[in-house]
Amino acid sequence: MKRSECPVGSVDFRALQCSLYSNKPVLGSQEQYQWFPFYGATNPCDLNCIALGYNFYYTFGKVLDGTRCSTDSEGLCINGQCLEAGCDGILGSNVQADVCGHCGGKNDTCIFIQRIYQDYSTVSGFFGYKNVTRIPVGATLVKVTDQSKNYLAMMDSEQNFLINGNWAIDWPGEYEAAGTMIHYRRSADSHETLEVTGPTLQDLYLMVLLQEPNPGIKYEYWLPNESPSNVQGDASPLHQYDTDGRPVYTSTNPDESATVKPLMATRTESQPDFCSRCKQPKGKSQRIREYCHSDFVFRVKIVGKKITGQETRYDVQVKYTYKNNYHVTHREYVWVSNICDCPRIIEQYEYLMMAQRHVNFEHTLNRILLRHNSYVKLWSPREDMYLRSIGKHCHPVK
């Protein structure tokens, strides 16, 4: 329940109550004072008033019902107690809106979208605006973070820049667009965030003004269940601008765009010259085949990463197993036989993985191994549902 602002010139209700005691004898003496609200006392629902020009305050009992608890609170005082209205408009109900924006909801009417955008256009000399993603209408709790010397930018659905457009950098602050507020923050160490409460009433287009190679832009938001097809992880059909301000167009078909690579991990080591582009199983039949031939299919959180020789070792926390031909514990090591960041994996994120058991010829090594093209995806409710049902397609070994 949003509080309506009082008309200009209105007298504050608490101040009015204090003023009723002005120019009247109090404290058992004939001294008279001008009284104004004092907010530093313990109980915010006591009528605490400070004497003008003096350093003491006096409590004249309780405030009248309906008085705000403080200047920055949505709560109201009722019978001496500070009560806040829940999202249902009832004082003291404590009912809160869930992340989907539904009052008293259980976060089950929307899905969580989380991606990482990364490309290496500046390696080949491109500096300018690049498309990152389209944030669909209806999105809530949008958060975008970047830790580089690049600048985040945003357009509305009519291709009007909202933040950091036309080669001009805006001040951090609040900007109104798409029926909601956009909170833009930028620190001295080049850390940027964009936060949108939502729900958005139109599509928003996230862009980046490249000044240096992009180390990775993280973005996330919640979207209603009925619109999963609106999720776009690839480039949008918007303009991109080069250093001369000339537009560069990307394809409207995400599969044809080579400028955006979603779900890519931030590299912590330089990529060796012999590394090739990462590939993953595509299509339903390939993914079923990968599942059926894997020894382990599980959901893990990446706790740590270490380069050992020409291999990468991930310390993982096993959250759930969909399939395990061999015993797994709560904490495991998952190995990759390259240092090319293939598959793409980032620390502190949760992934769905299909892996193999690897035992060397001497039987001195027994470990969980990912190939460079193994199935590895960021966890999402949709992928989770898919893996829970995919096992029925595997034929038993005779």
Check residues 174 and 10 and name the one with the higher pLDDT: 174
For residue 3, is pLDDT > 80?
no
- How many whole angstroms from its chain centre is CA 43? 37
Dihedral-angle region of residue 166 (phi above 0 means left; psi in -120 to 50 means alpha; beta otherwise): left
- Domains 110-262 and 284-393 fall in the same CATH topology: no
Check residues 248 and 123 and name the one with the higher pLDDT: 123
- pLDDT tens digit sequence for 34-51: 999 998 888 999 999 999
> What share of residues in the chain are helix, strand, coil (percent, to 5)?
10, 40, 50
CA pair distance 14, 36, nearest whole angstrom: 8
Check residues 71 and 268 and name the one with the higher pLDDT: 71
From residue 251, alpha-carbon distances to 63, 149, 238, 245 in Å are: 64, 27, 9, 19
CA pair distance 287, 391, nearest whole angstrom: 11
Q: Which amino acid belongs to residue 97?
A: A
CA pair distance 2, 199, nearest whole angstrom: 16
For residue 226, is pLDDT > 80?
no
pLDDT computed for residue 269 by the predictor: 37
For residue 145, is pLDDT > 70?
yes
Count of Cβ atoms closer than 10 Å to residue 249 Cβ: 9
pLDDT computed for residue 63 by the predictor: 94
> Residues in the chain, how many?
398
For residue 309, is pLDDT > 90?
no
For residue 249, is pLDDT > 70?
no
For residue 326, is pLDDT > 70?
yes
> How is residue 162 written in tokens?
């909202």
> How is residue 10 written in tokens?
């209105």
Average pLDDT over residues 225-246: 47
Count of Cβ atoms closer than 10 Å to residue 343 Cβ: 23
Overall fold of domain 284-393: OB fold (Dihydrolipoamide Acetyltransferase, E2P) (2.40.50)
Helix (H, G, I), strand (E, B), or coil: what is residue 286? helix
CA pair distance 165, 147, nearest whole angstrom: 19
pLDDT computed for residue 122 by the predictor: 52
Which pLDDT band holds residue 74 (cuts at 50, 70, 90)? confident
Query: Which residues, at least 6 apart from 77, have a Cβ–Cβ distance to it below 8 Å?
Result: 44, 45, 62, 63, 64, 65, 66, 67, 68, 69, 83
Which of 21-25, 185-189, 269-273, 318-322 shows the lowest per-residue confidence on average (mean pLDDT)?
269-273
Q: What is the DSSP letter of 20?
A: T
Check residues 128 and 82 and name the one with the higher pLDDT: 82
Count of Cβ atoms closer than 10 Å to residue 274 Cβ: 7
Which of 9-13, 148-152, 365-369, 376-380 shows the lowest per-residue confidence on average (mean pLDDT)?
9-13
Check residues 230 and 343 and name the one with the higher pLDDT: 343
* Inter-helix orientation angle 381-390/284-292, to 10°: 60
pLDDT computed for residue 261 by the predictor: 29
For residue 27, is pLDDT > 80?
no
Q: In what order do the strands lie in the sheet with 46-51?
A: 35-37, 46-51, 57-62
pLDDT computed for residue 125 by the predictor: 59
Domain ranges across the chain: 13-83, 110-262, 284-393
Q: Over the chain, what is the mean pLDDT? A: 80
Check residues 70 and 231 and name the one with the higher pLDDT: 70
pLDDT computed for residue 267 by the predictor: 35
CA pair distance 241, 248, nearest whole angstrom: 6
pLDDT computed for residue 274 by the predictor: 52
pLDDT computed for residue 264 by the predictor: 30
Domain 110-262 -> CATH class: mainly beta
Average pLDDT over residues 332-346: 88
Which pLDDT band holds residue 106 (cuts at 50, 70, 90)? confident
Which pLDDT band holds residue 251 (cuts at 50, 70, 90)? very low
pLDDT computed for residue 167 by the predictor: 87
